[in-house]
Amino acid sequence: MVNNRILILFDIDGTLVLGARCHYQAFVEAVKKFYGMEDDISGINYAGKTDPQILGEVLALGGLNDDEIKQNFQVCLDFMADYYLKNVHYENVRSLEGVNDLLKELQRREVLLGLVTGNLESIAYAKLGKVDLDGYFSFGGFGSDHSNRSFLVKKALKQAKNQFGYKGKHIFVIGDTPRDVKAAKDSNLQTIGVATGRYSKEELENCGADYVLDDLKNIDEVLKILSIYIKQ
Ligand SMILES: [Mg+2]
């Protein structure tokens, strides 16, 4: 039986894993194929943004107007997902230290685990699958659901309620960017910021994270934050 008292929604990139060479290349190939763009898009800050949001920004920076962007937008996202699944063998993803043990422990304690990530859903599961973390998750909000991260949090909450009968109020979002924090706050959720991405603890604290950690290596430290809610 799932412990309905606590729900944790995890971000993926910079929180559970690092490395997205294939994911980045999926953007490059997609904008080249559908929009003829060959510009270097490595200078953009992707952190905490959703895949459709990133794609829109890349195309706008390339000088395309809204109508031009809209024209091939969905087919371009579909291509990205296809490209990723076909090429995931060369993805350089690795799980961050402590993450597997933490997820195992949370699962043992029957915590309900979900995802909130800007990755398209198929990319998210393939990326996690590459490091054997996909089995911990069965629902969430993804970039394929919406371009706005706040909406993804709401979608994950709705699924927890409708598919898993979740009725609790103790919900945490764990992420590595101010965008994770903001999206969680829009739904009045508690947030744990982890400084394993491109933002420091101070930056995460300054944007309103309730708790900040250097990383998720120290399981006891994470459990301590959650302990008042977790069944022993
Ligand atoms: Mg992230």
% of residues, the chain, pLDDT over 90: 84
> Looking at residue 3, what is its pLDDT?
53
The range of the structural domain enclosing residue 123 comes to 3-18+94-226
Domain match, 73 and 109 both: no
* 33 CA to centre of ligand 1 in angstroms: 27
**232 within domain boundaries:** no
Domain match, 179 and 206 both: yes
* 177 CA to centre of ligand 1 in angstroms: 6
Other beta carbons within 10 angstroms of residue 124's beta carbon come to 24
Q: How many domains does the chain have?
A: 2
> Looking at residue 40, what is its pLDDT?
78
pLDDT digits (tens, 9 = 90+) for 161-206: 999 999 888 999 999 999 999 999 999 999 999 999 999 999 999 9
Rounded Cα distance, 170 and 159, in Å: 16
Q: Please calculate the CA angle 172-189-164 and round it to the nearest 5 degrees.
A: 65
* Average pLDDT score over the chain: 93
**pTM of the prediction?**
0.94
Domain match, 200 and 128 both: yes
Say if residue 96's pLDDT is above 60: yes
Query: Which protein residues have a CB closer than 5 Å to ligand 1 (ion)?
Result: 11, 13-14, 176
Q: Which band of pLDDT confidence, cut at 50, 70 and 90, is reported for residue 12?
A: very high
> Does an H or E element contain 101, and which?
helix 99-108
Q: How far is CA 232 from CA 2, 105, 109, 120, 126, in A?
A: 13, 11, 7, 35, 32
* 69 CA to centre of ligand 1 in angstroms: 25
**CATH value at residue 82:** 1.10.150.240
Domain match, 124 and 219 both: yes
* 47 CA to centre of ligand 1 in angstroms: 6
Domain match, 188 and 116 both: yes
Task: Specify the higher pLDDT residue, 109 or 157.
Answer: 157
Say if residue 46's pLDDT is above 90: no
* 10 CA to centre of ligand 1 in angstroms: 9
